[in-house]
Amino acid sequence: MSRDKRILDGAPDDGASDPSPKRAREGTESPRETDQPSVPSSVDEVNVPRVHVPKTKYAIAFGYLGTAYHGFQIQSGPGTDHVDTVEGCMLDALFAAGAIHESHRNLMGKLQLSKASRTDKGVHAACTYIGGRFELSHLSAGEPDVSREDALVSKLNELLPGDIKCFQVLRVTRGFCARSMCSRRRYEYVLPEWLLRKRYVLDNESKRDRFSKLSEQMGAHLQSHDRISCIRVGHGPSNGYEGTTEERELDVEVLESILRAYCGSHDFRNFTPKQKGLENTTQRFIHDVKVERRTVSGSDVVSVTVTGQSFLYNQIRKMMALACEVYLGTAPECAIPFTLSKRHVVQTAIAPAEGLFLHHPYFDAYNKRCAPPQTPFIEFEDVESQVEEFKQSRLYPEIVSSFEGDVWTTWLSRLVRNPFFLENSEFRVSGEQPTGAKGTVSPVDAAAPDPESGEAA
């Protein structure tokens, strides 16, 4: 059984509310009816109260490499007995440090646990936060110069594996929720520079005709209220076409101008897997996009930072894939604005997970209601130097190591053999009237009320 299963068996996600009284009674047996729950020696040694529920809430800042984990969030259900997650590993360490008592193992809702983000399998985080009621009264005994918060940071770093690093523990308000009080999230995507020195070649008349036709059709329907579906005709790689590329000069300004088409409020339903119930929850707001060249761990890379309120599952990886296709020349320049329409169905590729990581979340809304110095601001600047050291020593080398394999060459080959203009070559217009005409919800109003930290992105 995985450590995730040992920690939580059916505990509520984010722990925003206490379990029902009935459920709490079922999970707590009377001392007269059974022996006291067994407590590991490590917890006994720190003398943590057995029944006391901590009153003080804390936020914990940490970073991790996602390579060895099946995403951040603890998983449940068939086939997850041996699945390790970042959240499960963190909770293991908090139990061992005495910050969570063993008697609360089946009553995790009492601790009001929350998380600022969730990432998919293989996606890293330079800095993220979890919040909850943790017990720190037993820490820093006999060490007056060391705060309890700093003592917990040191203890967690002793207990955590090398691919997870704790940066800070700070006291927060009683109503703090890391998910709902996270105002924005910043992600970074790192690509090998050689990938963007390529250009797709339209080397025959048939390719040029198909590309030109799709470009004209999409351009003419950017403001259309018709329902339009773009599908592929035929089967097999490139319908028999063999794609080729040629060398070109790298132009980060062109790439940034392409990516800026995502800024603002848009419907990203074409940038996440199709799921029932997502019809009115795919509106998202992108604050900013920046592109720059860097040299990290001895490799020349292009770094793309995307800041948004929240992100859908796989959204950033699909955003990056389409932007690369426009840049490489396998998709027309109008492909991004056309794909962002809620009435258009478009096939989009997905970029490798290896280049993506959560840089850090922002807590602007929380910082307006906290009361320093008792409950200080949550500001990235306080941990920036530690995060930068973690990025340079662990995170960037992990990403650059993927350049040595065939992940990126395989992905480029797939784009070239199955380019956007062929994957969406059949342009079908249904001519239906637009939604929102008679009292229906507009795309902006239909946005999900609670932001998801999808990346997940």
Residue 243 above 90 pLDDT? no
Residue 409 above 90 pLDDT? yes
Residue 443 above 50 pLDDT? no
Q: pLDDT tens-digit profile of 68-104?
A: 999 899 887 676 667 899 999 999 999 999 999 888 8
Q: Does domain 187-362+384-429 have CATH number 3.30.110.40?
A: no
Residue 43 above 50 pLDDT? no
If we measure between CA atoms, which residue out of 7, 9, 10, 18 comes closest to residue 110?
18
Highest mean pLDDT among 36-45, 79-88, 122-131, 419-428: 122-131
pLDDT value of residue 8: 47
Share of the chain above pLDDT 90, in %: 60
What mean pLDDT comes out for the span 308-324? 95
pLDDT value of residue 15: 40
Residue 445 above 60 pLDDT? no
Residue 350 above 70 pLDDT? yes
3-179 and 187-362+384-429 agree in CATH topology: yes
How many Å apart are CA 11 and CA 132, to the nearest integer?
A: 14
The domain locations on the chain are 3-179, 187-362+384-429
Share of the chain above pLDDT 70, in %: 77
What mean pLDDT comes out for the span 306-333? 96
pLDDT value of residue 232: 77
Q: Kindly report which listed range (93-97, 126-130, 235-239, 291-295) carries the lowest average pLDDT score.
A: 235-239
Higher pLDDT, 281 or 39: 281
pLDDT value of residue 75: 81
pLDDT value of residue 138: 85
Answer CATH for 3-179 from 3.40.1260.10, 1.10.150.570, 3.30.70.580, 3.40.309.10? 3.30.70.580
Residue 24 above 60 pLDDT? no
pLDDT value of residue 6: 45
Higher pLDDT, 124 or 23: 124
If we measure between CA atoms, which residue out of 393, 298, 313, 325 comes closest to residue 356?
313
How many Å apart are CA 59 and CA 117, to the nearest integer?
A: 13
Residue 299 above 50 pLDDT? yes
Q: Which residue has the tokens 């505990």?
A: 11
Q: Is 362 annotated as a binding residue?
A: no
Higher pLDDT, 369 or 44: 369
120 is catalytic: yes
How many Å apart are CA 307 and CA 284, to the nearest integer?
A: 11
**Catalytic residue, candidates 120, 209, 288, 406:** 120
pLDDT band at 30 (very low <50, low <70, confident <90, very high): very low
pTM of the model: 0.81
Q: pLDDT tens-digit profile of 153-204?
A: 999 999 999 999 999 999 999 999 999 999 999 999 999 999 999 999 998 8
What mean pLDDT comes out for the span 248-269? 96
